[in-house]
Amino acid sequence: MVFSTVMDLQSIDTNAFAPVLTVLGYAAIAAGFASFGVLPLIGRRQGSSVLLGLANSLAAGLMLGAAYALMVVDPDGLPPVSAIAAMLGIMYVLFTHWAIGTTELDLNRLDETDPTYGYKVLLINTLHGAAEGVAIGVAMIVSIPFGTFVVVAIAVHNIPEGTVLSAILASLGARIRDAAALAIAANIGQVLLAVATFAIVSAAPEVLPWAAGFAIGALIYLVMAELLPEGYREVGHTSVALVAIVAMGMVVVLTGLSL
């Protein structure tokens, strides 16, 4: 059974550094993808909100698909503690929005020059990046191919985040190069949490249902509270739905292949 390798956590050698370095490398690549967000800004002064909307829809489908995969990965079903942890994941994203004051804020404004807006976007991206890092770490525990796929999903999501952040910085007079560097730096928490989650769960497998549940809740809530509503605002309902569902279909195929 394909799942036997998944749940056989004892087989992970906790003394080997190689897997941790793999996770570090992959998570760093995902963070690096944020720098591609500056590409639409080169040449034109402003990015395209239609592109942002499509990128958000793609990320929404991939992340919802990743949450699906994490929910069905264990043939015995989602343990009840994972449901509690999922609520914690939802609450984490909900609370960070509330604390920073971004609950109803459009996080995808490309023409906003207010520095306060920039700080809020930077802060919320950094804090949510941490939850996405947990998702990467958990997925890497499940299997390296599945983890790679979640890295791709998060990397895709990091690109439009990078675009918005660098658009704000560019409007404040920053050079594109510096904007790209800061877009990557905003995801350092993501890399750290990916590595920490992987290391902790490797050492203490009983934490896995908690970490997985947290990642599931945070991913779903991020999709519902940020990616989809912003996608609907930027492009038509049908475009959002088509892009997202094709992305989910891809996840289902890749999950079948990678688990």
Nearest-angstrom CA–CA distance, 254 and 118:
36
CA atoms within 13 A on the CB side of 125: 29
The answer to the question of residue 3 lying near another protein (CB under 8 A) is no
* Torsion, Cα of 111, 117, 123, 125 (10° steps): -30
Nearer to another protein, 74 or 112 (CB): 74
DSSP-derived letter for residue 225 is I
The letter for the amino acid at 223 is V
Q: Which of residues 187-216 bind another protein (CB under 8 A)?
A: 216
Nearer to another protein, 34 or 247 (CB): 247
The answer to the question of residue 2 lying near another protein (CB under 8 A) is no
Pick from 103, 114, 175, 204 the residue near another protein by CB under 8 A: 103
Q: Which of residues 80-99 bind another protein (CB under 8 A)?
A: 80, 83, 86-87, 90, 94, 97-98
Nearer to another protein, 172 or 246 (CB): 246
Nearer to another protein, 36 or 68 (CB): 68
Nearer to another protein, 82 or 187 (CB): 82
Q: Find where tokens 């905003």 sit.
A: 186
The answer to the question of residue 150 lying near another protein (CB under 8 A) is no
How is residue 136 written in tokens? 């990467």
The answer to the question of residue 248 lying near another protein (CB under 8 A) is yes
Cα angle 184, 86, 243 (rounded to 5 degrees) comes to 60
- Torsion over CA: 213, 214, 216, 220 (sign): positive
The three-state secondary structure class of 110 is coil
**What is the rounded radius of gyration, in angstroms, for the C-alpha atoms of the chain?**
18
CA distances, 157 to each of 13, 188, 232, 235, 237 (Å): 31, 15, 16, 17, 19
> Total binding residues for another protein by CB under 8 A?
37
Pick from 220, 234, 235, 258 the residue near another protein by CB under 8 A: 220
How is residue 246 written in tokens? 């094709």
Q: Which of residues 29-68 bind another protein (CB under 8 A)?
A: 64, 68
**Cβ at position 72, least distance to another protein in Å:** 4
**Cβ at position 94, least distance to another protein in Å:** 6
Q: Which residues bind another protein (CB under 8 A)?
A: 64, 68, 71-72, 77-78, 80, 83, 86-87, 90, 94, 97-98, 103-104, 216-217, 220-221, 224-225, 228-229, 232, 237-238, 240-242, 244-245, 248-249, 252-253, 256
